[in-house]
Chain A
Amino acid sequence: MGTPLNLASIACMRLSDRFWGLPPDASLHGPAFDRHLLLNLWIALGLLALAHLLLLAGLARRRRKGAFHSQALLEFLPLAALAVLFGGLAVRAEALWRDARYTGPDPAAMQVEVVGMQFAWYVRYPGPDATFGRTRPELVAPGEGNPLGLDPTDRHSSDDVISGQLVLPAGREVDLRLRALDVIHGFSVPALRLKQNAVPGQTIHVHFTPTTPGDYAILCTQLCGAGHYRMAATLRVLPPADFAMWLSRHQSTGGEQ
C-alpha cells in the first residue's frame, strides 16, 4: 500500500531534483533538507504563476467591472491563507534548524578541525590522544610544513594529523570545529547541505554525518580576498575501514604535506 506511494514520491523527488539542479546529497540530514527546499521552491514557483495569472486575467477582462469593496475577502482572507502557509514552512524549517544547530554532537562523534586562511583550508585530526595540540600564531608557517602553528612543546601536538583534504568515514557523526586565522571565510560543502562562516577569534562547532562515499567540493563562500575563487578543497568520504587505514597511514607520517 505504502510502497507504490513511496516509489512515486521518490520518483517525484528525483525529477524535482533534476529540474532544480541540486547537486547529489551525501549527508544524513540531506534528504529531509532537500524535501523541504524543493517544497519551498515549488510553492514559490506556484505562487509566482498564480500572481501572474491573476494579473493577466484581470487585465484581459473585456468589460470594465465595478471596483471591489470587500477588504475582508480580498486582503484579509488571502493574507490569512498566506500566513498559514508561510507559518507552516517556518515551523518545518525551525524543526530542521533545531536538529542541526540547537544541540551539540554526540559525545562519541569524531573530532576534526578545519582552519581557513587566505586561500586554503587545513584539516587537523587530534590523533590517538583525542586532544588537539596547542597552536601559537607566531609559529604559523605554511611553507615550512606548519600551517597551523602547532606548538611542538605541547605533549598533545605530536600525534596531530594535518591534511589539505577533509577525509571522513561514512556513517559516523562528525564534530567539526571551525577557525580562521586572518579574515572571515565561509566553509561550504554543497553535498552536505552545510555552510558555516569561520570567524577570526572564534571557534565555531557544526556537526553532521556523511553517508555516501565519494569526493565532494568544499568552497569558500565568504569574500576573503583576491584568491577567494580558488579557495577550494576536497571532502573525501571513505568507507569506515578505508578511513581507518588512511588515518593510520598519516599518523605514522605526521600528516600529508
Chain B
Amino acid sequence: MNPRLTTENSKLRTEPAPRFTHHRTLGLAYLALSTIALLAGTALSLLMRLHLAWPAWSLPLHGLILPEEYLGLVTLHGTLMLFFVLTIAPQWGFGNLLVPAQIGASSMAFPRWNRAALILFATALSTLLASPFVPGGSAISGWTAYPPLSAITIAGPGQAGGMDLWLAAIAFFALASLVAAVNMLATIITMRCPGMAWHRLPLTVWGWFTAALLSIPAFSVLLAALLMLFSDRHLHTSFFLPATEVVNGLVLHSPGDGSPLLWLHLFWFFGHPEVYIAVLPGIGLTSMVLANFARRRVFAYRIMIAVTLLIGLLGILVWGHHMFVAGLSPFAGSTFAISTMAIALPASAEVLSWLATVWGSKPRLTTPMLFALGFVSLFVAGGLTGPILAQPILDQYLHNTMFVVAHFHLIMAMAGVFGLYLATYYWFPLLAGRMLNDGLGRVHFYATLLGAYATFLPMHLAGLAGEPRHYAQLTGVAGPAGTLLKNLLPLQRHITYAAIFLAAAQLPFVWNLVRTLSGPRTASANPWAATTMEWAPAPVTPPEAAASSHFAVPCVYVGPCEYSPDGNSFHPQWEPLTKVLPKE
C-alpha cells in the first residue's frame, strides 16, 4: 500500500471538521429558519384575512386590529414569505442539502462562509421578528418600502424604530445572500465530479445556478439602496427625498433634490430578479420530477437549459414594469412592456416541455408527481396574467389592485410552495430514510390545490372590480368609493373562508411528518428509481480514479434522464456504460 496515502488519510481522519459546517446540517438549519418564517407568515396572513372580512372582529388578548397594525401585518407577511421562506428554503435550504450530492461533490466550496451566511440569515430573521415589539410597532410600508413613507419617521406609526429594524434585517439578509450565492456558484463551477459536464447537470442544478447568478447583482443593488435609505433617514442626505415636503403639517427641507423614483428603480432592479430566484429552483425540480415519473428524458433538455438562463437574463431587464404608472416617461413604459412580454416565450417553452414530457407517458401518480403537476397548473394559471399586467395601458387599470395580488400569489407564492412540498416529498426518503405516506400526501395535495385556487382565483375578480391592495378595511369609507369597496365584502369573506381551508389543508402534511418521523427507517436506497447523483449508493472508486486520488470519487457517465423507451429500465448517472440502452 502506498504509505503516503495512508498517512494523509489518517491525518484527515484525526483533524476535526469545523463544527456546524456540513452542508446537510446547514441545509436543515436553513429549512428550520424558513419553517419559523412560514408559520409566522401564515398566521399573520390569516389575521389579515379575518380582519378584512370582519373589520369589527376583535383579536383575543389584543382587541381590534387597527389600520396601522393591519399594514404592519402586510409588511411582515410579505417580508417573511418572500425573503425568509421563498428565497431561503428552495435556494439555500434544499440547495445545500442537494447541490453537492447532485454534482458528485463531498461538500460545498466554502463551508465556513456557509455557516457565516446562516448566522447572518438567522440574525436577519430575529431582527425582523423583533420589529413589532419596539415603540410604534413594525414598519407599515410593505415589503417594497417606498420612500418618502419609509424615509420619514413621522410619516406613520412604525416608521421610526420598526422601519430601522426592517432595514437592518434586510441588510443582513442581502449580505447573507451574497455570501451564500458566491458559495453556490463556486461549488457548481469548481466541484463537479469527473464526468459531470455542464450539459449533464440536472435542471435542478441549473435552477440553483441561475438563481445564484441573479442573486449577485440583485442583492448588491439592494444593499446599496438600503444603505442610501438609511443615510436619508439618519445622515441628512436626500437620495430619495425631494427638496421640500410637508408631512403631518411639518415642512421638511432636504439638502438636495432627490427623487423617490430612484428607490423604485433600485428596489425593482432587485425585486424582479428576486421573484425569479424564488421560483427557478422549483421550475428545475418540476422538470426533473415529471421526467422521473414519466420515465422519459425531459423534452428538449438542452433548450430547457437555455430557457432557464434566458429567464434569468430577461429577469434583470424588466424592472420597469412595476413602474408603468409611477411617473416614468411613457416611452420607458413601452420599452419595459416589450422586454416583459418577451418573458412569456421562455416561460411558455417550459410549459410546452412539461406537457410533452408527460403526454402519453402513463406516469405513476405518486405524491411528488402530483405536486409537480400542481406546480405546472399553478405556474400556468399565475403566468397567464403576466402578459396582461405587462401591457402598460392595462396596468393603468390593474396596477396595485387585487388582480396583481392574485397574479403573484399564484405564480410565486403558491407555485413556490408547491415546489417546496415537491422537494420535501421527493427527497424525504433520501434525507430521512423514510417514505412519507402516499395516502395522506394525496389528501394534502388535492386539498391544497383546491384551497389555493379557491383563495386566489376570486382575487382576480376583486381586482377587476377596482379593489386596491393594502386596504386595511373595506368599510367606513363614504361616497361611491365606499359603495365600491363595501360591495366586495361578500367576495372577500369567501376568500377568507378559502384561506382558512387552505391553512387547514396543511394539517395532513404535519400529521404525515410526525407519523413518518416516529416510524422506522424503511425507505430503500433509490425508491423513485431516480437517475441523478444524489441517489447514488456510497461512492465507489473507479479503478482509473483510484490511482490518482486519495478519496473515493464518484464519477458521472451519462446525462441525467436515461430511460428505455418502455420506461422499465433506466441508466443512472453513476453507472458505467457497460450496458447500452436500446435507442428510442
Contacts and interface: CB of A to CB of B under 8 A. Distances in A.
Interface in B278-299: 296-297, 299
Contacts of A194: 396-397
B483 interface: yes
Interface in A186-221: 186, 188, 190, 193-197, 199-202, 204, 215-221
A141 interface: yes
Interface residues of A, number: 91
Contact of A234 (B68, B473, B479): B479
Contacts of B584: 66-67, 69
B146 A223 contact: yes
Interface stretch (B168-176, B344-352, B510-518): B344-352
Interface string B369-387: 0000100110011001101
A41 B354 CA distance: 24
23 contacts: A22-B464, A23-B466, A40-B387, A55-B373, A58-B358, A62-B362, A82-B348, A90-B341, A149-B246, A181-B245, A183-B147, A183-B155, A188-B466, A190-B466, A195-B396, A199-B260, A201-B245, A204-B327, A218-B481, A219-B481, A221-B468, A226-B68, A234-B479
Contact of A55 (B245, B376, B474): B376
A100 interface: yes
Contact of A90 (B141, B391, B396): B391
A57 B358 CA distance: 10
Nearest to A17: B464
B380 A48 contact: yes
Interface in A16-41: 20-23, 33, 36-37, 40-41
Interface in A138-163: 138, 140-141, 149
B300 interface: yes
B361 A64 contact: yes
Contacts of B157: 226
Interface stretch (A2-10, A72-80, A169-177, A248-256): A72-80
Nearest to A100: B393
Given A40-B391, A48-B381, A67 B297 contact: yes
Contact of A86 (B344, B352, B395, B400): B344
A101 interface: yes
A200 B360 contact: no
A195 B148 contact: no
A244 to B, nearest CB: 23
Interface stretch (B99-107, B127-135, B331-339, B492-500): B331-339
Contacts of B43: none
Most buried by B among A78, A93, A227: A93
Contact of A222 (B146, B392, B466, B566): B146
Interface stretch (B10-18, B115-123, B184-192, B247-255): B247-255
A180 B244 CA distance: 11
Contacts of B395: 195
A92 B202 CA distance: 40
Nearest to A82: B348
Interface in B450-479: 461, 464-466, 468-474, 476-479
A79 B352 contact: yes
B481 A93 contact: no
B247 A232 contact: no
Given A40-B391, A68-B359, A186-B468, A195 B397 contact: yes
Interface of A: 20-23, 33, 36-37, 40-41, 44, 47-48, 51-52, 54-55, 57-59, 61-69, 71, 74-75, 78-79, 82-83, 86-87, 89-90, 93-94, 96-98, 100-102, 117-118, 137-138, 140-141, 149, 181-184, 186, 188, 190, 193-197, 199-202, 204, 215-230, 232-235
Contact of A44 (B142, B357, B385): B385
Nearest to B478: A232
Interface of B: 66-68, 71, 140-142, 146-149, 152, 155-157, 241-249, 251, 257-261, 296-297, 299-300, 303, 325-327, 330-331, 333-334, 337-338, 341, 344-345, 348-349, 351-363, 365, 373, 376-377, 380-381, 384-385, 387-388, 390-397, 399-401, 461, 464-466, 468-474, 476-484, 565-567, 584
A128 B139 CA distance: 45
B327 A59 contact: no
Nearest to B323: A197
Contacts, number: 301
B348 A217 contact: no
Contacts of A219: 466, 468, 481, 484
A39 to B, nearest CB: 10
Given A20-B461, A220-B468, 9 more contacts: A21-B465, A51-B351, A55-B377, A67-B357, A89-B391, A182-B155, A182-B247, A217-B483, A229-B471
A66 B251 CA distance: 73
A55 B355 contact: yes
B562 to A, nearest CB: 12
A67 B296 contact: yes
Most buried by B among A65, A83, A141, A229: A229
7 closest A-B pairs by CB: A201-B242, A190-B466, A232-B481, A65-B360, A58-B359, A93-B391, A101-B330
Nearest to B361: A64
A26 B386 CA distance: 27
Contacts of B470: 223, 228-229
A69 to B, nearest CB: 8
Contacts of B243: 201
B334 A97 contact: yes
A140 B251 contact: yes
A177 B390 CA distance: 25
Nearest to B66: A226
A200 B242 contact: yes
B148 A48 contact: no
Contacts of B359: 54, 57-58, 61, 65, 68
